[in-house]
Amino acid sequence: MKQRNLEIDRLRAFAIIMTVLVHIPGPFAIPKGILNTFHLPIGVDLFFAISGYLMTTILLRDMESNKSFGTMIKKFYIRRATRILPQAWFWLTVILIGSFTWTQVFSNSDIVIPQYFAAMGFIQNFAVGETPYHPLLHVFWSLSLEEQFYLIFPIILFFLRKKGVVIFGIAYLELMIIIQPAPNGFWPYRLDGMLCGALLAILYNSKWKERIEPKFLLNRPMLASIVSIISIVALLIIPGEIWMTSLFFPSQGIFAAIVLYFAIFNKGYSFPTPWGVKQILDWIGTRSYVLYLNHSVAYFIVWRLMPHIPFSNKYTTFVFLVASFFAMCLSAELTYRLIETPLRKLGRRIPIKETKGHLVAPNTTLQ
């Protein structure tokens, strides 16, 4: 079994930390001055790049083992479904039930239901703007984009091969710069981050792998830390500086891929961290998906319960943040152990019968 890349898990941790911080609601929110300097919403784009990279790596591995198109697709979709759907549908159910029983937190069901069905079918990126905005369901715009990408990209990769995907990815980024409308975080056709991650995976799984490896960082943790900090600061600042230009979205995907680049080798090039910090980041990274789903729910429940929490009158913001983080971490751990992990294991155990036919991937080496 291929060794898990813990450096990518730690990047997931950074991505979810940025996302959780930027979504702190109401009077507890991070000051606008900080948000104007550091573009924290870019944590989602880092998730996009990681997803594109990992998905493409998995698909290339199956293609190089000469699996038929049908076998590759079935295996990929079953594993994605058992990974993504159970947690998403569980938290959607929590929100739906809450909309009927606790409207002060979850809003009235008349507001929830239109977005609920869009989120359930992973088409919320198209529904945003057409249905009333709901803060507990807003995370599903990005999950919808990812699911749609998972649906179509394996087909594109199989038939266009690596070279075709490289041409497609570069053409898409150029087209985005030329014709993109005014920046809108919920733009329904965003592929930039996932395509940049996919292009990075193709480069890594080619003869260029040895040439692009940043070996000058090997066994130099101080230098690796400096380079990592520079790349993260660039990710947080530069795209925000070109907001309201056609370069905004492509720059997010490109800078997210640059940060990811140092992690894909899993050799300590990305964020060398002390022992205790590693364990914390590893835990956050492996639970990042459910933390993405549950953090807004935790915020709004705690917000409504604040009058009943001890010391909340005197230390309002501190108590709110501690209680919210505790709630989201506890629920993340429980659902990770009881829902996500068992069903992911089930997805790996489901037998995939080899599909017979002529559609078999040839050698995929990028010349």
Calculate mean pLDDT across residues 193-205.
95
Grouping H, G, I as helix, E, B as strand and the rest as coil, residue 58 is helix
pLDDT at 367: 35
Nearest to 289, CA basis, from 9, 6, 69: 9
pLDDT at 133: 66
Nearest to 222, CA basis, from 173, 273, 298, 294: 273
Nearest to 252, CA basis, from 242, 266, 262, 261: 242
Calculate mean pLDDT across residues 64-86.
87
Q: For residue 128, what are the domain limits?
A: 6-349
**Amino acid code (one letter) for 122:** F
In the structure, what pLDDT confidence band is assigned to residue 132 with cuts at 50, 70 and 90? low
Task: List alpha helices for 242-274, DSSP H.
Answer: 248-261
| Number of structural domains found in the chain | 1
pLDDT of 221-267, one tens digit each?
A: 899 989 999 999 999 999 888 877 778 878 899 999 999 999 999 99
pLDDT of 299-337, one tens digit each?
A: 989 988 888 887 777 788 899 999 999 999 999 999 999
Query: Any idea which of 204-208, 292-296, 321-325, 363-367 has the lowest mean pLDDT?
Result: 363-367
358: pLDDT strictly greater than 70: no
Residue at 354 is within a domain: no
Q: Which residues contact 210 (CB under 8 A, 6 or more apart)?
A: none
pLDDT at 77: 92
Cα angle 43, 45, 51; round to 5 = 110
Query: Any idea which of 47-51, 109-113, 121-125, 259-263 has the lowest mean pLDDT?
Result: 109-113
Q: What is the DSSP letter of 232?
A: H
The Cα–Cα gap between 65 and 342 comes to 27
Residue at 215 is within a domain: yes
pLDDT at 150: 93
Residue at 57 is within a domain: yes
pLDDT at 188: 75
In the structure, what pLDDT confidence band is assigned to residue 354 with cuts at 50, 70 and 90? low
**Quick one: the chain helix, strand, coil %, rounded to 5?**
70, 0, 25
The Cα–Cα gap between 154 and 157 comes to 5
Calculate mean pLDDT across residues 98-102.
81
Residue at 10 is within a domain: yes
The Cα–Cα gap between 29 and 324 comes to 13
268: pLDDT strictly greater than 70: yes
In the structure, what pLDDT confidence band is assigned to residue 217 with cuts at 50, 70 and 90? very high
